[in-house]
């Protein structure tokens, strides 16, 4: 689909990731067994890709705008907190007692965080950063997306492709490298 | 049937809520029954009308005692509105709430049309519902463009998303929006409740759009809200003109409170979220007392019994949020090309309509057309949810590659 959409900027891509993250939360919450395990795996990986892209590209760009430090600090604090909840969930696995409650907590935190970005951060970037610059950054977001899960409906493909990419949480480092390569 | 006139409800002096009680926990931002969201949006519109009506009444009332009584009940209505509307979650975006508003306009109006006993009034609802149906489709396309999300997330397959009477055709001369009112002395009491309910819902939609539209930075979003808010204002004209202007202020107050009782009672019966259901239950108990005080004022000032206005046999069948897909498809197939002239309905594009179209569009495409075109440019297709097959009107079928969920 991205090919069909002309002139997407980095924010369009991040918004599309927010939408996919929301869908994956619904999928994890409503499934069981292997389907749930794979959906959760995809969710963890996508969150990792997404947050890394924002930390590397979006938040630093926001810092260049006047009076934005407090706003960016708040977003980063939310991301740190979400990461901790995420780590607990990953460590325990989908069968751990309390997974459902933890997932709900994480979901609310992630959705709220995403809406804060959409309400207060992204519009400022679109208003103050030249459109060409935001379009240019789309390449780096795409480079990060290469590490995101690709199966359209988790469960229909083997998890082998994702496993080959390594443990889900370690993906952040590779994403970071890819982003830096793409933007240098 | 439940007769609200037979109940006392919670004494007015016990109805003021403190901060803790006002600070309600919102519904879940994701895992929500779409019709729970619809009931919240509908009740918010009713409460907003209760407040605005009471202000208008007070401005037209010379009796200070009555004014104080109105002020007190109005404060209670205000708290009810805050509680109801604050059930919406902060994570919902303006556009998501907008999709909810149009889903309400579609399924609420369709239900009312199906249950309206008076054919002339039913025609007014059938006419109007096809326009809000089209708004849902336009906003769904905007939603995917601006927020990259799919309207399916909001309407969840309960309401289809596809063209109705195209918004571009909905701009007609304001003269032609004015309908003939019902006769308050002859009409079925149900018709009074229907008219007030739809009028309140449309008024809330208008007020919402005219205020939130400029919050968007995307030019197409700003323009689409401007366009559709103008239509919603015409809808208010259309529906409010159905109400008999000969009703006295006392009579109107009575009808307002009675309608609130009917709706809370209806929603209480069908609510799937237990926490929200408890609020409908509480508010019904409050409204029963509002109704008593309105009935007392009515008796005192008119020397008549409230039953003469709202009937003596209790509430009508509960208003229900439910899918109206087949009914809407039937209307699409038969009334799509309907237009209004004077107080009636016609099929031809008449002179006054053409004049208005020229003044407004001035040879350009309105935002409601641009939004679909831009969506096709960006995504290669338009956004639709056609769960029951292709569009019943052949000329409105998706051209190529229309995704159907
Ligand atoms: Fe984000
Ligand atoms: Fe009320
Ligand atoms: Fe509408
Ligand atoms: Fe409307
Ligand atoms: Fe009331």
Chain A residues touching B400 at Cβ < 8 A: none
pLDDT in tens, B166-202: 999 999 999 999 999 999 999 999 999 999 999 999 9
CA distance B85 to B276: 12
Closest CA–CA distance from residue A7 to any residue of chain B (Å): 8
Q: B204 or A160: whose pLDDT is higher?
A: B204
* Interface predicted TM-score (ipTM) of this complex, two decimals: 0.87
Which pLDDT does position B2 carry in this prediction? 96
Q: Determine the topology of domain A2-183 in CATH.
A: 1.20.120
Contact A107 B30 (CB under 8 A): yes
CB proximity A97 to B under 8 Å: no
Q: How confident is the model at residue A137 (pLDDT cuts 50, 70, 90)?
A: very high
Beta-carbon neighbour count of residue B14 at 10 Å? 10
CA distance B228 to B230: 5
Give per-residue burial for A66-91: e unless 16+ CB within 10 Å, then b.
eebeebbeebeebbeebbebbeebee
Which pLDDT does position A168 carry in this prediction? 56
Closest by CA position to B118, among listed B42, B195, B178, B176: B195
Task: Specify the pairing of strand B339-341 against strand B344-346.
Answer: antiparallel
Q: A146 or B112: whose pLDDT is higher?
A: B112
Whole-number Å distance, alpha carbon B230 to ligand 4 midpoint, is 10
- The stretches of B303-392 forming alpha helices (DSSP H) are 307-310, 325-335, 351-361, 367-379
Beta-carbon neighbour count of residue A26 at 10 Å? 14
* pTM for this entry: 0.93
Are B9 and B287 in contact by the 8 Å Cβ rule? The answer is yes
Mean pLDDT of B215-235: 97
Are B155 and B217 in contact by the 8 Å Cβ rule? The answer is no
Q: For chain B, give every domain's residue range.
A: 4-404
Chain A interface, best mutation among B148, B217, B375, B379, by max A CB count within 10 A: B148
Dihedral of the CA atoms B281, B282, B285, B290 (nearest 10)? -120
Q: How confident is the model at residue A176 (pLDDT cuts 50, 70, 90)?
A: confident
Q: For chain A, give every domain's residue range.
A: 2-183
Over 80: is that where the pLDDT of B112 sits?
yes
CA distance A148 to A34: 19
Which pLDDT does position B386 carry in this prediction? 97
CA distance B368 to A52: 37
Closest-approaching ligand to the CA atom of B45 = 2
Least confident stretch, A69-73, B114-118, B130-134: A69-73
Q: B282 or A79: whose pLDDT is higher?
A: B282
CB proximity A127 to B under 8 Å: yes
Mean pLDDT of A93-122: 94
**Sequence-ordered list of residues with C-beta below 8 angstroms from that of A155, at least 6 positions apart, any chain:** A31, A34, A35, A38, A39
Report DSSP state, residue A38: H
Mean pLDDT of B312-324: 97
Closest by CA position to B135, among listed B390, B366, B399, B392: B366
Phi first, then psi: give them for residue B364, nearest 5 degrees: -110, 165
Task: Report the first-to-last Cα separation within chain B, whole angstroms.
Answer: 41
Q: What share of chain B is helix, strand, coil (3-state, %, to 5)?
A: 65, 5, 30
pLDDT in tens, B358-405: 999 999 999 999 999 999 999 999 999 999 999 999 999 987 655 544
Q: How confident is the model at residue A160 (pLDDT cuts 50, 70, 90)?
A: very low
CB proximity A107 to B under 8 Å: yes
Which pLDDT does position A109 carry in this prediction? 93
């Amino acid at each position: 689909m991205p090919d069909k959409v002309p002139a997407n900027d980095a924010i369009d891509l991040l918004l599309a990731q927010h939408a996919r993250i929301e869908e994956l939360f619904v999928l994890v919450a409503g499934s069981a067994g292997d389907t749930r395990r794979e959906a959760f795996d995809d969710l963890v990986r996508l969150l990792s890709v997404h947050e890394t892209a924002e930390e590397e590209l979006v938040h630093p760009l926001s810092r260049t705008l006047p009076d934005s430090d407090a706003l960016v600090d708040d977003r980063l604090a939310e991301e740190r907190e979400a990461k901790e909840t995420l780590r607990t969930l990953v460590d325990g696995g989908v069968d751990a007692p309390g997974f459902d409650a933890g997932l709900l907590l994480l979901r609310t935190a992630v959705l709220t965080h995403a809406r804060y970005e959409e309400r207060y951060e992204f519009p400022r970037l679109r208003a103050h950063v030249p459109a060409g610059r935001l379009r240019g950054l789309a390449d780096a977001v795409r480079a990060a997306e290469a590490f995101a899960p690709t199966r359209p409906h988790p469960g229909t493909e083997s998890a082998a492709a994702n496993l080959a990419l390594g443990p889900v949480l370690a993906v952040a480092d590779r994403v970071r490298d890819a982003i830096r390569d793409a933007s240098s | 049937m439940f007769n609200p006139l037979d109940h006392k409800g919670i004494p007015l002096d016990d109805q003021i809520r403190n901060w803790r009680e006002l600070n309600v926990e919102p519904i879940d931002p994701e895992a929500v029954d779409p019709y729970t969201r619809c009931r919240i949006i509908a009740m918010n519109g009713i409460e907003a009308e209760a407040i605005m009506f009471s202000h208008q009444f007070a401005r037209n009332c010379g009796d200070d005692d009555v004014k104080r009584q109105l002020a007190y009940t109005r404060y209670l209505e205000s708290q009810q509105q805050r509680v109801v509307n604050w059930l919406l979650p902060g994570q919902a975006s303006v556009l998501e709430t907008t999709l909810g508003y149009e889903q309400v306009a579609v399924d609420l109006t369709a239900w009312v049309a199906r249950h309206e006993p008076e054919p002339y009034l039913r025609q007014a609802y059938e006419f109007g519902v096809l326009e809000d149906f089209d708004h849902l489709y336009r906003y769904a396309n905007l939603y995917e463009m601006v927020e990259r999300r799919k309207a399916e997330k909001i309407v969840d397959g309960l309401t289809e998303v596809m063209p109705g009477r195209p918004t571009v055709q909905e701009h007609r001369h304001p003269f032609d929006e004015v309908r003939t009112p019902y006769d308050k002395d002859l009409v079925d009491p149900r018709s009074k409740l229907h008219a007030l309910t739809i009028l309140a819902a449309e008024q809330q939609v208008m007020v919402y759009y005219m205020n939130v539209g400029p919050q968007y930075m995307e030019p197409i979003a700003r323009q689409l809200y401007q366009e559709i808010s103008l239509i919603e204002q015409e809808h208010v004209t259309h529906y409010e003109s159905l109400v008999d202007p000969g009703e006295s202020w006392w009579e109107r107050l009575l009808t307002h409170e009675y309608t609130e009782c009917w709706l809370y009672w209806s929603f209480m019966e069908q609510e799937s979220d237990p926490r929200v259901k408890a609020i409908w239950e509480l508010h019904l108990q409050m409204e029963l007392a509002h109704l008593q005080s309105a009935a007392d004022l009515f008796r005192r000032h008119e020397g008549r019994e409230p039953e003469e206005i709202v009937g003596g046999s209790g509430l009508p069948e509960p208003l229900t949020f439910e899918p109206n897909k087949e009914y809407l498809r039937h209307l699409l197939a038969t009334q799509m090309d309907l237009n209004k002239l004077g107080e009636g309905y016609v099929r031809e594009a008449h002179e006054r309509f053409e004049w208005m179209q020229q003044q407004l569009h001035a040879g350009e495409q309105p935002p409601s057309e641009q939004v679909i075109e831009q969506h096709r440019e960006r995504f290669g297709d338009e956004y639709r949810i056609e769960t029951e097959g292709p569009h019943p009107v052949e000329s409105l079928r998706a051209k190529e590659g229309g995704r159907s969920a």
